[in-house]
Amino acid sequence: MAQAAARIGEQGRYELIEEIESGGMGTVWRGYDAVLDREIAVKLIRPDIVVSPAQALEFARRFEREARVTARIGHHGVPQVFDAVLDEASYDRLYLVMEYVRGISLRRVLTDSGVTGTESDGAEAAAAVGLPVSWAASIAAQICTVLSYAHALPVVHRDLKPDNVLIAADGTVKVLDFGIAKLLRTDVTRLTATGHRIGTSRYMSPEQIDNAQITPLSDLYALGCVLHELLAGQPVFSGDNDYQLMHQHMDVPPKPLRTLRPEVPEDLETLVLDLLAKAPEQRPADAYAVYERLSPHLPQPGSAAVPVMLADGGSPAVVPDPTVVYRQPNAPLRRTTAPSLSPEPTALLPAPVRADTELRDAIRDAYSQSADLAEKGRFAQAADVLKALISTAATALGGHNPRVLGLRLQRAAILMAGGDFRRALPEFDALAAVYARTGGPADGSALECRRRAAHCRANLGQATAALREFREVLEIVSDMDGDASETALDLRRSIGVLLFSEGRRTEAEGVLDALHEDMCVLLGEDDEETREIAGLLARLRGPGEPGRY
């Protein structure tokens, strides 16, 4: 059996599923809110690194800072904090419950897409290319938007770097980790001992290195470092250690971008050099001024995408596109496309009996766990439990193995039960195609998937397509089992109710009247379903508003 997940919060509300990050101060877990049935990120203090009451207090205040600053910024470019337990007396119980963002770190984009060299890369680093100009401008512009909201409080991030920037699946850029942010014009307790610098040396402004006054312009210097790296494919400075890097930030002029990448527009080169000015007063006035200078390089609405590929582990994948917020501003949710089926491995070798037994046990446990979650109304988490196993099972057994298809069918059914018709529909369509190829168009599983797909379409407002599919399935079922079979009666009811909800009253009455006569004979007039159809007919024939599907 799978090990029970850890729970925190009142009555175990928050379930911790997997650790996704471990840093110097704490760990971040992917989890679920059992009450709201949604994915969350939970940040916990690492008790193993707390060596004194003073350090425990420092960490507690960092958590408090992150929770309150993030809540005050109130911008979609900063992950929301949903809940916080900040009792300084019990640091081992401190946690933040935050929005879980599916996406990719900007650091990984720079590294795994092959656009960034490091100090150890030698000649390869000098030959790095950088991201497309529209990508670099879009990422920097979205960061500017977040900084403008933070600086208005005023809050200074103090550790802006690619590791703290995330590109979400929809292209939104998120700025993370306000745990060491500084609230200006307030009596804020220092977070580190006197004389210790806060930030990351590769992106640290000269005034931070010099322990001088920190202002919003310090974040703009870090943004200049990030923008240079996005365009040049390598950091501004590449010292071998912190001392060398800090010396370079303090005293060495940055290389102009066009000496590293000639196609960079001249005004962007000038902007980066202005951001990297050693004296804060020589930098742009604020984040909005930087945004305005980036605007000419943002893609226009309706322009074509410029994809960037991630080649991690030899499996190319498209990176989420940060330009989409400018190319398709405030666009509707993208149309769902049918997922591609997992290919069956070629020349599969017989799997060891133990491995097969473990997989069988894992599948059984996943069914059991998802069923328990679905029974509690936690449909999103129930579907994800199955999703986590499908890829593993497909790799071991083949994408068309009955056990793999069964897992996918159960997941689609749970998504549908939870009202997530948009994600359930393409899976039902794909499964129907597989079952029809292997068992023919009259295969029972294929017909059941088509029937459920039609229900999804109806609930998504695709009435014409739903009616067509219901009728096509009914024709096959009637040819095999007649109009009075249980499946045929259910399909006829779905067609009648959908016609009713669409205001096609005459057609609906004809379908439901014939259905009612058959149900009276087969089930009896007093049967609950028979009475339901009689009620619909009464509403059709008398005054009243049409029902809702």
pLDDT of 73-112, one tens digit each?
A: 889 999 998 988 866 556 567 788 999 999 999 999 998 8
pLDDT higher than 60, residue 15: yes
Distance between CA atoms of residues 320 and 399, nearest Å = 26
If you write DSSP's letter for every residue of 228-282 in order, what string do you get? Answer: HHHHHSS-S---SSHHHHHHHHHHPPPPPHHHH-TTS-HHHHHHHHHHT-SSGGG
Whether residue 287 contacts residue 215, with contact meaning beta carbons closer than 8 Å, is answered with no
- Residues 425-479 have pLDDT tens digits of 999 999 999 999 988 999 999 999 999 999 999 888 888 999 999 999 999 999 9
Question: Does the active-site annotation cover 33?
Answer: no
Task: Please give the pLDDT value at position 63.
Answer: 78
Mean pLDDT of 43-54: 78
SS3 state of residue 97: strand
DSSP 427-465: HHHHHHHHHHHHH-TT-HHHHHHHHHHHHHHHHTT-HHH
pLDDT of residue 197: 62
How are strands ordered across the β-sheet holding 6-8? 6-8, 14-22, 26-33, 38-45, 95-99, 81-85
Q: Please indicate whether residue 180 or residue 308 has the higher confidence score (pLDDT).
A: 308
- What does the angle CA 19 – CA 23 – CA 27 come to, to the nearest 5 degrees? 35
For residue 337 the two structure tokens come to 């496309």
The active-site residue, picked from 87, 112, 121, 159, is: 159
Residue 521 has pLDDT above 60, yes or no: yes
One-letter amino acid at 450 equals: R
What average pLDDT score do residues 494-512 get? 90
Please tell me whether residue 111 adopts helix, strand or coil conformation: helix
Is residue 409 within 8 Å of residue 446, measured between CB atoms? no
Alpha-carbon span 436 to 173, nearest angstrom = 42
Q: Is pLDDT above 70 for 309?
A: yes
Euclidean distance between CA atoms 58 and 189, whole angstroms: 9
- Angle formed by the axes of helices 486-501 and 444-459, nearest 10°: 20
pLDDT at 335: 60
More confident of the two residues 92 and 358: 358
pLDDT of residue 460: 85
Lowest model confidence (mean pLDDT) among 160-174, 184-198, 280-294, 391-405 = 184-198
Phi then psi dihedrals of residue 104, to 5 deg: -140, 140
- What share of residues in the chain are helix, strand, coil (percent, to 5)? 55, 10, 35
Task: Copy the structure tokens of residue 296.
Answer: 């000419």
**Sole residue written with tokens 């473990």:** 358
Query: Is residue 289 scored above 60 in pLDDT?
Result: yes
Q: Which of 25, 7, 24 is nearest to 16 (CA)?
A: 7
Question: According to the model, what pLDDT value does residue 344 have?
Answer: 39
pLDDT > 80? residue 191: no
Q: In order of start, what are the domains of the chain with their CATH numbers? A: 1-100 (3.30.200.20), 102-190+199-301 (1.10.510.10), 353-541 (1.25.40.10)
pLDDT of 4 reads 56
Under 8 Å between Cβ of 324 and 171: yes
Q: Phi, psi at residue 97, to the nearest 5°? A: -110, 120
pLDDT at 543 over 90: no
Residue in this structure with the two tokens 């405030």, named with its chain if needed:
330
Section 197-210 average pLDDT:
86
Question: Is the pLDDT assigned to residue 199 strictly greater than 80?
Answer: no
Point out which residues pair with 97 in neighbouring strands: 42, 83
DSSP three-state, residue 7: strand
SS3 167: strand
What stretch of H or E contains 26?
A: strand 26-33
pLDDT above 80 for 122: no
- pTM (predicted TM-score): 0.70
Amino acid in position 543: P
pLDDT for the residue numbered 62: 78
- Angle at Cα 18 formed by Cα 105 and Cα 69, nearest 5°? 55
For the record, the structure tokens of 465 come out as 């397509």
The model's confidence at residue 356, banded by pLDDT at 50, 70 and 90, is: confident
- pLDDT tens digits, 206-259: 999 988 888 999 999 999 999 999 999 999 998 889 899 999 999 999 999 999
Cα distance between residue 530 and residue 351, in whole Å = 52
Rounded-to-integer distance, Cα 224 and Cα 273, Å: 8
More confident residue, 25 or 119: 25
At 208 the three-state DSSP class reads: helix
Do 166 and 172 contact (CB within 8 A), yes or no? no
Say whether pLDDT at 1 is over 50: no
How high is the pLDDT of residue 16? Answer: 93
Instruction: Quote the pLDDT of residue 47.
Output: 74
Predicted confidence at residue 315, as pLDDT, reads 54
Task: Point out the least confidently predicted range of 128-142, 207-221, 232-246, 529-543.
Answer: 529-543
Q: What is the mean pLDDT of the chain?
A: 84
State how far the alpha carbon of 317 is from the alpha carbons of 54, 104, 112, 369, in Å: 46, 12, 10, 31
